[in-house]
Structure 1
Amino acid sequence: MVQTQKLFVYVFYACFLLSNLPTYSWGRRLFEKEGPNYAVKTIKTEYGDIYDCIDFYKQPAFNHALLKNHTFHPSTRSNSKPKMAGKNTNSLTKNDMFLDMIRFKGESCPSGTVPIRRVNKYDPDSRFPEHNVSGTVFALGQTKNDPSKKYYGANGVLSAWNPQVKPNQYTSAEIILRGGTDSIIAGWTVNPAKYGDTQTRFFIYANANNKLCFDSECGFVVTRPDTPLNFILSPLSNITGPIYTYPVFVYQDAKDGNYYLQVSSRNIELGFWPQNIFAGMKNGASYAGCGGEVYSQDTVKPIDAPVMGAGTYPDIYPDKKNFAFCKFSVVDDSHNVVVPTDIEKFTNNPEYNAVVTNQDHGKVIYYGGPFPVNV
């Protein structure tokens, strides 16, 4: 049973590498070709990113074949949010500063439009060859395999870092929901092949009924005019402190069945994945997890391995704050946000590790690597 669970995780993550296949990226290609021509307004951020404000009904999500006859509108919001059960504190860091600086500074797209990030050219193909010795590596806290359990959301408070990677590598911190072959991932990443830089960016990803997409490329409906996807996180944690945390929450609405995305301590709702684009997650997920993921195209020595999180290796219970962590909770079948009791660690490479702890009135997963070569 354990091996079956591991196999499911491997298959799930293998899909992550295929996200930019041309077959599934028509939404992005259409926008690159036509977006600026029908943009109502253009906003340039302090980091140089350009977002075009386009009509809500012309956003890439609605090129999805299953959304042609949708009834969504710019004011579509969650109808039934999960309730917090018990204490929900966050005293893990010296500076519990949530990253609320994600909105456009002093600007917003006009009412009835949404911001879509412009790229200068079609995103580089982020597919990589067959996995080798390095390949994709995970260090996670995940729910145990139990067919009787359902999860209707995942909530993670992620410490935010800027681990450096080479052009053929990426590193991410994320929460995960999965059911069948469907999955949703949300968190932050440093992914030069996808985003063309080494900035720490918020990202989302979904495998919905075998359509594999980053961000708003197909299926995710953006609803806010003032808060974009792919925003650059700032400030970021430092190994000597302070540590900055960032909350991300994905949950299925108990009434309309859509999966909504919230960020920031202010519960800013960015949009949703419609229920009808999924097959295995129409009614909840069978798996939830949180932690780190890295990838390297080439077989590399530990000294050249991609950094996960803070780059520290949590091989023992951490007594300092210089580790990457995720404070993790899930949404149960009563649609309450609860601390999961069935969490175990999953790692598939000894250069990286995860430690699952009971701390701060919840489950805290410390993760990172590679293993220090001078130890």
Structure 2
Amino acid sequence: MESPDGDTIDCVHIAHQPAFDHPILKNHTIIKTRPSYDPDWIKDENINMNASKSFTQLWHSNGKCPKGTIPIRRTKKEDMLRASSLKSYGRKNSVSRQSTIDSEFVDVTKDHEYAIATFNIWNPKVQRQDEFSLGQLWITRGSGSDLNTIEAGWQVYPGLYGDSSTRLFIFWTSDGYQRRKCYNLGCPGFIQTNNEIALGGTLSPTSQVDGSQYEMTILIWKDRKEGDWWMKFGETVVGYWPASLFTSLRESASRVEWGGEVVNLKSDGHHTTTDMGSGYFPQQGFGKASYIRNIQTVDESNTLRTPESLQTYNPENSCYDIVMGMNDNSGSQFFFGGPGLNPNCP
């Protein structure tokens, strides 16, 4: 079906999705569409931040996929031509992840199996089609070529999607962003079990400066019985990453990170003008700056809690910055972002 944003969404039989092209998953069978354990996070209905406005994926306005199928955003010829090669299409640049991350993270001393956060959704300006801007959470373990990550959030990436819309995305790697890495359903890996959410699909509307704020919540957790990593978007279970995709993440995670990331190619000999978050510095606060709140992890008693000893990392605070905050009801939160190039950021 055609989406108002120009996407074409195909309803593909759940057993014929790209995941099963992976050699490891050739004999994988979807036994269930939900995990054996579905944790509940701390509810926050009493929080009043003038946020939590409703939003949708634009393709929903023209229909829905029937039971037994999943929605997949169709890859067009022009999508392939935008990539430098077919091999690189939909791949995340390892250098950008390691050098431009602006995140808040917590190191955990015990095995970690859950992470959750609420993001407000923006539509940042991106200078070049091969640069991107995003807000997400990372679940990681390992280092170097054995680094495993699971990532999810919102993103503006013209080089991948062909436009400047804000989109829901997932990403994973099992070899430190070298060869085994993938966005959305762009290669075999993630198994989708839901017929309502299109990974890579447009999120609309987005937050406005001094206006309505739109939020989404993402929960990623490990099914203790099967060992797979499941993802929930709002109240909807989307699907899972089979444990067999990973090396170090087969057991558990060792670190969780939340924050923003941009690619800074310095194409004109100076810092990019690509926005992080709303494009406003975090000191501008609610209504202007991008935020992540309701940050929770699970402790050794399998209870979701606000993590302690949060640390911030920001390589260029004159270009982008981060300010921590605390709200007794919503758990840890912080504001982040900035405009990139400015008089103090050459």
TM over 0.5: yes
Shift of 1:211: 1.3
Q: CA deviation at 1:319?
A: 4.8
Aligned AA for 2:307?
P
Counterpart of 1:251 in structure 2 is 221
Cα displacement (A) at 1:182: 0.6
- The partner residue of 1:99 within 20, 37, 55 is 55
Q: What is the Cα deviation at residue 367 of structure 1?
A: 0.5
**1:301-326 superposed Cα distances (whole Å, 9 cap, x missing partner):** 77742100011112x4x554311011
CA distance 1:53–1:131, change in 2 (3 Å): closer
Residue in structure 1 matching 2:306, options 322, 339, 343: 339
Cα distance, 1:247 vs. partner? 1.1
Deviations 1:157-210 (A, max 9, x none): 111111111223110000110011110110011001111111100000001356
**1:240/1:84 CA distance change after superposition, 3 Å:** closer
Q: 2:118 matched to 1:118? A: no
Q: Paired residues, what number?
A: 324
**Matches for 1:150-161 after TM superposition, within 5 Å:** 150-161=111-122
Taking the aligned partners of 1:374 and 1:240, their CA distance within structure 2 comes to 24
- TM-score normalised to the size of structure 2? 0.85
Alignment equivalent of 1:81, drawn from 32, 35, 38: 38
Query: Unpaired segments of 5 or more residues in structure 2?
Result: none
What's the offset of the Cα at 1:156? Answer: 1.4
Pair 101,190 (structure 1): closer, same or farther in 2 beyond 3 Å: closer
Alignment-derived partner of residue 173 in structure 1: 135
Q: Secondary structure of the equivalent of 2:9?
A: strand
Deviation at 1:233, TM superposition (A): 0.9
The 2-side partners of 1:128 and 1:275 are apart by: 21
Q: Which residue of 2 aligns with 1:45?
A: 3
How far did 1:153 drift?
1.7
In structure 2, distance between residues paired with 1:51 and 1:130: 29
Greater alpha carbon shift after TM alignment, 170-179 vs 356-365:
356-365
C-alpha displacement at 1:100, in angstroms? 4.8
1:205 and 2:171 equivalent? yes
**Which one-letter code corresponds to 1:250 in the other structure?**
I
Identity fraction in percent: 27
Q: 1:302 to 1:326 in 2, by over 3 A?
A: farther
User: C-alpha displacement at 1:106, in angstroms?
Assistant: 6.0
Taking the aligned partners of 1:185 and 1:278, their CA distance within structure 2 comes to 14
Q: How does 1:1-375 map to 2 (within 5 A)?
A: 43-73=1-31, 75-84=32-41, 88-89=44-45, 91=47, 93-100=49-56, 104-105=60-61, 107-121=63-77, 122=80, 124-125=83-84, 136-144=99-107, 146=108, 148-165=109-126, 166-180=128-142, 181-208=147-174, 211-216=180-185, 217-264=187-234, 267-299=235-267, 304-314=272-282, 316=283, 319-327=285-293, 328-350=295-317, 351-361=319-329, 362-370=331-339, 373=342
1:177–1:185 contact (8 Å) kept in structure 2: yes
CA spacing shift, 1:51–1:319, aligned 2, 3 Å: closer
Describe the superposition over 1:28-63 as per-residue Cα deviations: whole angstroms up to 9, x where unpaired. xxxxxxxxxxxxxxx222222112222222211011
Aligned-residue offset at 1:118: 0.7
Whole-angstrom CA distance in 2 between matches of 1:320 and 1:260:
31
Q: 2:189 is matched by which residue type in structure 1? A: G
Structure 1 runs not aligned, ≥5 long: 1-42
Structure 1: distance between partners of 2:47 and 2:12: 40
- Post-superposition offset of 1:369: 1.1
Q: CA deviation at 1:136?
A: 4.5
> What secondary structure is seen at the aligned counterpart in 1 of 2:248?
coil
**Contact 1:290 1:365 (C-alpha < 8 Å) held by counterparts:** no
Deviation at 1:108, TM superposition (A): 2.5
AA partner of residue 201 (structure 1): R
**Post-superposition shift, 1:300?**
5.0
CA RMSD in angstroms, aligned pairs only = 2.7
Separation in 2, partners of 1:150, 1:345? 21
Tell me how far apart the structure 1 counterparts of residues 131 and 98 of structure 2 sit (CA, whole Å).
9
Counterpart of 2:50 in structure 1: which amino acid?
K
Contact residue 141 and residue 344 of structure 1 kept, 8 A: yes
